[in-house]
Amino acid sequence: MQPLFKADSGTKSTYLRIETLSGLSLNILTILSFCKTPELRTPSHLLVLSLALADTGISLNALVAATSSLLRRWPYGSEGCQAHGFQGFATALASICSSAAIAWGRYHHYCTRSRLDWNTTVSLVLFVWLSSAFWAALPLLGWGHYDYEPLGTCCTLDYSRGDRNFTSFLFTMAFFNFLLPLFITVVSYRLMEQKLGKTSRPPVNTVLPARTLLLGWGPYALLYLYATIADATSLSPKLQMVPALIAKTMPTVNAVNYALGSEMVHRGIWQCLSPQRRERNREQ
C-alpha cells in the first residue's frame, strides 16, 4: 500500500491526540485504582484490568500515529512499521477478546452456583493475551502483511492486495477474533437476562457491551470484507480511515462502560484521585 501524504494528516493528528488523551487518562486511572484498592483485587475485576491494559495499548498505538500524523510522515522506518502494526493489532484483538471474557465472567459470576476463582481467571487472561499475540504475529511470518495505512502515517494490516493470502487470513482471523467473541458476548448477556430477569433486574447493562463491540470494530470488519471482493484502494483515503478512527475511540468507550459504569471500580478510581479519602477509609 503506497502512503498518501495529505493535508488531512493534521485533522487526523488532532483527533488522535484527543482520543489518546481521553483513553490513556481513563484507562491508566482504572489500572491505578486496581493497584491501590484492595477491594478490586478479585477474579472478576481482573478481567476488567485486562481490558484496561489492552485499551491502554491501543491508546499508545494511537499516540504514535498522532505523532507521525503531526509530522506528516512515518519517521520510524519499515521495521518500525511492522512493530507498530503488530502492537496495534495485538492490543486490538486483546481488547475484543477481553470484552468477551468479561461477558462470560459476568454470566458465570451471577448465574452459576460457583464463583469465579483465580486459577480460571488467570488462565483466561493468559489465553486472551497469548492468542492475541499469536494472531498478530502471523502477518510478520507471512500470513497476512502489515503496511502503511492510506495516509501513510501509521501501519496496519494491509488490505490493498486482496489476494488469497489476505483473504484466507482475514476470514480465519475474523471468525476466531471477532465473530466468536461477539457471539460469546451476545449469548452470555442474553442468558443473564433470561435467568435474572425473571426475579430481578440484571446488575449490569446487558445490551450496551455487544452493541459497542459491534459498532466499534464492525466498520473495520466491513472494510476488510469489502477488500476481499473489490479493490479497497478505490475508496477515498478519508473513507478508508473512518474504521480506524472509530476503533481508536474504543478505549474511552470501554473505560466509561466497564470502569466508570461499575460502582465498585468507579469508587476505586475516586479513591485513587482522593488520597485523603483513601486514608480515611483505611482508618475506618
Cell reading at 281 = 477509609
| 5 has pLDDT over 60 | no
Q: Which amino acid is at 114?
A: S
pLDDT averaged over the chain? Answer: 87
Angle between helix 43-71 and helix 8-36 axes, rounded to 10 deg: 150
Cell reading at 61 = 498505538
With CA atoms as reference, report the closest residue to 101 among 182, 4, 17, 207.
Answer: 182
Strand partners, 148: 155
Report the pLDDT value the prediction gives residue 12, as an integer from 0 to 100.
75
Output 52 or 270, whichever has higher pLDDT: 52
pTM across the whole model: 0.90
**What average pLDDT does range 213-237 have in this prediction?**
90
Output 102 or 279, whichever has higher pLDDT: 102
In this predicted model, what pLDDT tens digit does every residue of 94-138 receive, in sequence order?
999 999 999 999 999 888 877 889 999 999 999 999 999 999 999
Give one word for 142, left, alpha or beta, with left for phi > 0 and alpha for psi -120 to 50.
left
What domains lie within the chain, and their CATH numbers? 1-275 (1.20.1070.10)
| 2 has pLDDT over 50 | no
CA dist., res. 68 & res. 59, Å (int)? 14
CA dist., res. 157 & res. 139, Å (int)? 8
Report the pLDDT value the prediction gives residue 9, as an integer from 0 to 100.
62
Q: How confident is the model at residue 53 (pLDDT cuts 50, 70, 90)?
A: very high
**What average pLDDT does range 159-184 have in this prediction?**
92
Q: Are the C-beta atoms of 177 and 135 separated by less than 8 Å? A: yes
Q: Half-sphere exposure of 110 toward its Cβ, with a 13 Å CA cutoff?
A: 24
Distances (CA, A) of 21 to 16, 125, 216, 242, 252: 8, 26, 18, 19, 9
Distances (CA, A) of 217 to 142, 174, 250, 251: 24, 11, 9, 12
Q: Are the C-beta atoms of 271 and 34 separated by less than 8 Å? A: no
